[in-house]
Amino acid sequence: METSSTVVETLPQVKEFVSGRHKMLIDGKLVEAASGKTFPSYNPATGEVLAEVPEGDKEDIDRAVSAARRAFEGRWRQVTPSERGQLIWKLGELIEKHADEFAQIESLDNGKPVAVARVADVPLAVDLFRYMAGWATKIEGNTIPLSVPGGGYLAYTLREPVGVAGQIIPWNFPLLMAAWKLGPALAAGCAVVLKVAEQTPLSALRLGGLIQEAGFPAGVVNIVTGFGETAGAALAAHPGVDKIAFTGSTEVGKLIVQAAAGNLKKVSLELGGKSPNVVFKDADLEVAIPGAASAIFFNHGQCCCAGSRLYVEKSVFDKVVEGVAEQGKQIKLGPGMDLSTQMGPLVSSEQLERVCGYLASGRQEGAKAVIGGQRVGERGYFVAPTVLTEVKPSMKVYQEEIFGPVVAAMPFSDAREVEAAANETIYGLAAGIWTRDISKAHSLAERLRAGTVWINCFNVFDAALPFGGYKQSGWGREMGHEVLENYTETKSVCVRIK
């Protein structure tokens, strides 16, 4: 990985922001942690410290929850749906205005190519806020015809904000995950405490400044940086929080459910996956091969919906595997700030260790790496795009979510066999199908136990399209109008009128 002239110049405002004194947004003010403590965020391309950020913990969560409660009971209630929508829209506009800055911050903190952040993470976050801005004025109840003998009743439902929402997000799409969480909660009229991932706190801290600039009343949005076991756990267990929304691993999702049990707060979860990606022999392989490669290699495989189990119909297995391997071989690894980089480093040394652990276990259990299979270089957290064959269902690399650029490829004989294999994990987040036969595509789509099925495409996201998991991939949906269910309560009002 030599440095090249395609490295982008860090914007002066990004330099200033990254090296500045970072503060969290609590109660409308930018503040340090109550303890005064900070912790480092690293540049994963180099392993060097990028910034020191406040180490928020229980005390900060308490402050943030109290502020959110005051805002929810006070000023935020007086804000009309139209005004709420305008504030959310304005936040989207401000992010768009600072798009280059956000793309660079994301690249430096997370490792992803700045060019990818510029066309994916940032515009998707902007779109999400714009889409949700529109919902603020459209959250409606119904009038309900009752069958009570004798009649004489008017009944209707109100959709009310659930209250103070705690939100915990991961590091793979830091800004976008913040948008997925904040947009619908604010549209519904909730006040929010957002705990961002400790690996990638910077874009949310920058967002805190824009939330102030947009003019949200104090306490409506609070952003806390800190660790999962301290700040995150305190938020999930907090008796003053009415609802917790979590995106992250299935393992931590289960801890969130337990923590939420104290006051039975509402819970929505978007968790892990081990998504099957099924290529039939009648697929357009010119499209399916790069599609299958990008299904796993996009964002370095650090996607909960990554197409990490590639099932290929026997007669085209070798061709597809060779094709995906060729695509993987061509991927240029490097620092995210280099425009020629197609794949950056993994987010952290822990993630590097975890992915390398899976590669070692695959080797020990008899899987064969057609390409990759190891770390690249000594500096930064780079892992080579990896295609594994000879993978058996008993292997860890088949069953567990690796969250790295590692795909297991398996041959199959017919639709029935692949349906059973695709459905045989604890997960059910997403799936891909590649075929020219529309009946086959739709009937398999119907039988797959997954929250999203992509046909002849993969990783297509839109603010209007619900996303979430069956089985242990989660509860509830993100995006679309469905996500509003996560942030509203239905109140039935029944009036005797005769």
In the complex, minimum distance from the CB of residue 252 to ligand ADP, in angstroms, rounded to a whole number: 3
Selected catalytic residue, list 304, 401, 478, 485: 304
Comparing CB distances to ligand ADP, the nearer of 136 and 204 is 204
In the complex, minimum distance from the CB of residue 168 to ligand ADP, in angstroms, rounded to a whole number: 5
Q: What residues form DSSP beta bridges with 191? A: 164
Selected catalytic residue, list 32, 55, 106, 270: 270
Distance, in Å, from the CA atom of 133 to the CA atom of 118, rounded to the nearest integer, reads 22
Nearest-CB residue for ligand ADP: 228
Contact (Cβ atoms closer than 8 angstroms) between residue 489 and residue 160: yes
- SS3 state at 349: helix
In the complex, minimum distance from the CB of residue 75 to ligand ADP, in angstroms, rounded to a whole number: 28
In the complex, minimum distance from the CB of residue 255 to ligand ADP, in angstroms, rounded to a whole number: 4
Comparing CB distances to ligand ADP, the nearer of 352 and 415 is 352
Distance, in Å, from the CA atom of 454 to the CA atom of 288, rounded to the nearest integer, reads 12
For 4-127, list the strands marked E by DSSP: 24-26, 29-31, 38-43, 48-54
* Long-range CB pairs of 3-10, under 8 A, 24+ apart, other chains included: 3/338, 4/334, 4/338, 4/340, 6/338, 6/339, 6/340, 7/335, 7/337, 7/338, 7/339, 8/104, 8/114, 8/337, 8/338, 8/339, 10/104, 10/108, 10/337
Q: Which positions touch ligand ADP (CB under 6 A)?
A: 168-170, 195, 197-198, 227-229, 232-233, 236, 248-249, 252, 255-256
User: How far is Cα of residue 153 from the mean position of the Cα atoms in its chain?
Assistant: 45
Computed from CA positions of residues 351, 356, 361, 362, in that sequence, does the dihedral angle turn out positive or negative?
positive
In the complex, minimum distance from the CB of residue 228 to ligand ADP, in angstroms, rounded to a whole number: 2
Question: Is residue 270 flagged as an active site residue?
Answer: yes
Q: Where are the alpha helices (DSSP H) in 4-80?
A: 12-19, 58-73, 75-78
| 46 Cβ contact list (under 8 Å, min separation 6) | 335, 379, 380
Comparing CB distances to ligand ADP, the nearer of 173 and 398 is 173
Comparing CB distances to ligand ADP, the nearer of 246 and 280 is 246
**Which helix (H) or strand (E) segment is 312 a member of?**
strand 309-313
Comparing CB distances to ligand ADP, the nearer of 226 and 432 is 226
Q: What are phi and psi of 474, to 5 degrees?
A: 140, 180
Comparing CB distances to ligand ADP, the nearer of 182 and 256 is 256
Contact (Cβ atoms closer than 8 angstroms) between residue 359 and residue 374: yes
Output the furthest CA–CA distance in the chain (Å, rounded): 82
- Which amino acid, one-letter code, is at 456? N
In the complex, minimum distance from the CB of residue 48 to ligand ADP, in angstroms, rounded to a whole number: 20
Comparing CB distances to ligand ADP, the nearer of 254 and 329 is 254
In the complex, minimum distance from the CB of residue 206 to ligand ADP, in angstroms, rounded to a whole number: 17
Q: Where are the alpha helices (DSSP H) in 366-450?
A: 396-399, 415-422, 438-447
Question: Is residue 305 flagged as an active site residue?
Answer: no
Residue with tokens 């913990």: 57
Q: Looking at the annotation, which residues are catalytic?
A: 270, 304
